[in-house]
């Protein structure tokens, strides 16, 4: 049952045109639960995800053509109303990665599904909680034996480095700039490649017998993804969260590689596993900066165009 003090309207960030990254702040109705699993959440914080403003162009058959396009699929907030048998109740402090084909959390209220939610870690503040879902869930599914991670200091990469370490990877190689080498080694990287001085291909060529890896986890795309083909072993795995790896395969790479463009299925039970690691002190979120809701445009620009170290966070509520 919803609170009697629930307002009828709310502030929300909208992307009016899927062909443009221009965002606007608007006053729109508070969403009403219509699905059996819908949980209404008062948003405390969210986080931009690099590339999300283009998802409707990349995957129109999945994203759809919703007239209300609200970004921010990372959610941290407090339950306002929930299904009786859903396992959550008003007042629960939760977090989630909202499925990309539904309105996100860059709004004062949003709807998440029971299956997406988990109780947030007790040892994290709201910004740290919002920094976790998409990036940690994506990395959680890809911890392997000998791993190379591009953009290792970024939002997803910093989680991937930690999770590979926790999973017992034999080697964790992080591709970063020189200023972030110490940072990723603290997270668990055993070796670094300074992309400003050496390409991934040149790094492999310097010791072709021992440097190829079982898994390349690409977190940035572009030329780094193309170079990643040189690092993965025969019959290894190349995963990108940015684009289809085969489209970036260099013409001189003929080895057999399992490659895929990875998109997560957001499940609360996986977040619950991450919560346990966070509360045990085995993982920690990496935050680049925290901005107020009024500075939403700056936050999305920074996530899209900059090279943030960790997540850019937007405080939707003054209580965050």
Q: For the segment 165-186, what is each residue's pLDDT rounded down to a tens digit? A: 888 888 999 999 999 999 999 9
Check which CATH number belongs to the domain holding 273 and give it.
3.40.50.720
pTM of the complete model: 0.78
- Please report where in the chains the tokens 């409707």 appear, as a residue: 56
Is 177 within a domain? yes
pLDDT at res. 202: 97
Which domain range does residue 294 map to?
286-319
Which residue among 124, 153, 186 closes a domain?
124
Which residue among 68, 90, 124 closes a domain?
124
My answer on whether 49 and 114 are in the same domain is: yes
Sign of CA dihedral 231, 233, 234, 239: negative
My answer on whether 193 and 162 are in the same domain is: yes
pLDDT at res. 143: 52
96's torsion region: left (phi>0), alpha (psi -120 to 50) or beta?
Answer: beta
235 class by beta-carbon count within 10 Å (0-12 exposed, 13-18 middle, 19+ buried) = exposed
Half-sphere exposure (CA, 13 Å, Cβ side) for 252?
Answer: 4
My answer on whether 112 and 38 are in the same domain is: yes
Judge contact between 51 and 71, C-beta under 8 A: no
Rounded CA separation 143/172 (Å): 10
Q: How many other β-carbons are positioned within 10 Å of the β-carbon of residue 209? A: 5
My answer on whether 66 and 160 are in the same domain is: no
pLDDT at res. 77: 98
Q: How many other β-carbons are positioned within 10 Å of the β-carbon of residue 24? A: 12
pLDDT at res. 1: 47
Phi, psi for residue 286 in degrees, rounded to 5? -110, 120
My answer on whether 273 and 314 are in the same domain is: no
Rounded CA separation 88/299 (Å): 30
Judge contact between 103 and 69, C-beta under 8 A: yes
Rounded CA separation 262/197 (Å): 28
Rounded CA separation 170/146 (Å): 5
In this prediction, the residues of the chain whose per-residue pLDDT falls under 70 are: 1-4, 58-68, 141-144, 262-265, 320
pLDDT in tens, 237-263: 998 888 888 999 999 999 999 887 756
Check which CATH number belongs to the domain holding 43 and give it.
3.90.180.10
- Count of domains forming the chain: 3
Rounded CA separation 55/143 (Å): 25
């Amino acid at each position: 049952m919803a609170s009697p003090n629930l307002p009828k309207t709310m502030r929300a960030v909208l992307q009016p045109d899927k062909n443009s990254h221009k965002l606007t702040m608007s006053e729109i109705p508070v969403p009403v639960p219509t699905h059996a699993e819908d949980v209404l959440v008062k948003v405390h914080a969210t986080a931009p995800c690099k590339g999300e403003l283009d998802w409707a162009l990349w995957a129109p058959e999945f994203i759809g053509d919703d007239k209300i396009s609200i970004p921010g699929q990372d959610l941290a907030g407090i339950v306002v109303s929930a299904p009786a048998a859903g396992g959550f109740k008003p007042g629960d402090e939760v977090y989630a990665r909202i499925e990309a084909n539904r309105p996100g959390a860059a709004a004062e209220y949003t709807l998440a599904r029971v299956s997406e939610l988990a109780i947030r870690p007790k040892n994290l503040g709201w910004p740290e909680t919002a920094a976790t879902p998409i990036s940690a869930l994506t990395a959680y599914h890809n911890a392997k034996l000998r791993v190379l991670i591009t953009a290792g200091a970024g939002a997803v990469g910093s989680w991937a480095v930690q999770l590979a370490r926790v999973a017992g990877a034999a080697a964790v190689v992080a591709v970063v700039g020189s200023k972030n080498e110490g940072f990723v080694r603290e997270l668990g990287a055993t070796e670094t490649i300074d992309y400003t001085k050496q390409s991934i291909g040149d790094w492999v060529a310097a010791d072709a017998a021992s440097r190829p890896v079982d898994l390349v986890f690409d977190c940035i795309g572009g030329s780094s993804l193309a170079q990643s083909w040189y690092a993965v072993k025969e019959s290894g795995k190349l995963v990108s969260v940015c684009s289809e790896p085969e489209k970036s395969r260099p013409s001189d790479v003929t080895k057999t590689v399992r490659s895929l463009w990875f998109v997560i299925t957001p499940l609360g039970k996986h977040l619950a596993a991450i919560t346990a690691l966070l509360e045990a002190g085995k993982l920690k979120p990496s935050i680049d900066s925290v901005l107020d809701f009024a500075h939403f445009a700056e936050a999305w620009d920074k996530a899209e165009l900059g090279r943030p170290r960790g997540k850019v966070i937007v405080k939707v509520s003054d209580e965050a």
